[in-house]
Amino acid sequence: MLNYTEKVMDHFRNPRNVGYIKDPDGIGEVGSAACGDVLRLMFKLDEKGRIADVKFQTYGCASAIASASVLTEIIKGKTLEEAENITNLDIVEYLGGLPEHKIHCSVMGREALEAAIENFRKGTTGRKTLEGKVICICFGVTEEKIKRAIRENKLTTVEQVTQLIKAGSACGGCKEEIAEIIASLAEEVKATPEVTPRKGMTNLQKIQLIKEIIEYEIKPELLQHGGNIELIDVNGNQVIVSLQGACKECHVSNITIKNLVEPKLKERVSAELEVVEER
């Protein structure tokens, strides 16, 4: 049994934005049924050039479905320029993590988005085309794709590359060349600063993330001790909650908020958040 997070299972069992858009502005498709994963993503822009609607269709595993579902939530309301800055790591973090050998599913989502944006801008077919030297013939992975994966994810081993983009996972004939690419980028990767996650979240995305952290991470911990918590409102950076059960009667309820609830939300959402109890 794979160690999936609650958020992955939620988006797998209840995927958001599944379906089809008639006359989409952009449509992109990546993957191959022969390889086990296919993803089609389409979007519609509003009069201001923001993504007003986005849908996806996929054939794949729980990670592929959850990654596509989360991606559609992240990009809705963004401009295409903002959406282009989304990396596969943003998808993985939003999901609370993925098993290492399933992280390639987040890459597939990002590539489908890129293909859809290219389809809108250039009138292409919407299929991800190969550009540059092909290193992994089995999966059609180019040198440029391998380099991008290494740079963005700070990869240091062939095994990590294989898990992320499948290159080298079939016949293995390209592993030596992948190792040479890793070595050529080693100093560059080492010098690259860590990227701050969740940049550019909309207010709706921030509220949704707060809801999910309270529901799936904080509430279960309080329930173990006879307590409970409900999100009442989010006013700017102020998060208003209601403590219930044993927590409501506890004379140290403020400690629960300041030592448990607030630190977790500050860490996962924004350091500027303040959590207060409803009065």
Angle at which helices 203-213 and 62-75 cross, to 10°: 140
Give the three-state DSSP class for 216. helix
Architecture of the domain made up of 6-122: Alpha-Beta Complex (3.90)
- Answer yes or no: 35 catalytic: yes
Provide the residue type at 93 as one letter. E
Radius of gyration for the chain, computed over Cα atoms and rounded to the nearest angstrom:
21
8 A C-beta contact, residue 100 and residue 163: yes
Matching CATH topology for 134-191 and 203-277? no
8 A C-beta contact, residue 48 and residue 146: no
What string of DSSP letters covers 65-124?
HHHHHHHHHHHTT-BHHHHHT--HHHHHHHTT---GGGTHHHHHHHHHHHHHHHHHHH--
Instruction: Please compute, for residue 106, the number of CA atoms within 13 A of its CA located in the half-sphere on the CB side.
Output: 26
Check 105, 136, 174, 247 and give the catalytic one. 105
Element of type H or E holding 248: helix 246-249
Element of type H or E holding 144: helix 143-153
pLDDT of 129 reads 58
> CA 66 to CA 82: how far, in whole Å?
21
The DSSP output letter for 53 is E
Going from N- to C-terminal start, the domains of the chain cover 6-122, 134-191, 203-277
Residue 264's φ and ψ, nearest 5 degrees, are -70, -40
pLDDT of 2 reads 56
Cα 41–Cα 88–Cα 144 angle in degrees, nearest 5:
95
pLDDT of 184 reads 93
pLDDT of 151 reads 86
CATH 3.30.413.10 fits 134-191, yes or no: no
Dmax over CA atoms of the chain, in Å, equals 66
Residue 160's φ and ψ, nearest 5 degrees, are -65, -40
What string of DSSP letters covers 211-235?
HHHIIIIIHHHHHTTTEEEEEEEEE
pLDDT of 197 reads 44
pLDDT tens for the chain, 279 residues: list them: 457 888 999 999 999 999 999 999 999 998 765 555 788 999 999 999 999 999 999 887 888 899 999 999 999 999 999 998 888 888 888 888 888 778 788 888 888 999 999 999 988 776 665 567 888 876 778 888 899 888 877 889 998 888 788 788 777 889 999 999 999 999 888 876 554 445 556 777 788 888 888 887 788 878 877 788 889 988 888 999 988 877 666 656 678 888 888 888 888 888 889 999 887
Mode of pairing for the β-strands spanning 227-235 and 238-245? antiparallel
pLDDT of 180 reads 93
Check 35, 61, 138, 250 and give the catalytic one. 35
> CA 25 to CA 113: how far, in whole Å?
12
> CA 210 to CA 228: how far, in whole Å?
16
Classified by CATH at the fold level, domain 203-277 comes out as GMP Synthetase; Chain A, domain 3 (3.30.300)
Provide the residue type at 247 as one letter. C
Provide the residue type at 185 as one letter. L
pLDDT of 76 reads 92
> CA 222 to CA 90: how far, in whole Å?
28
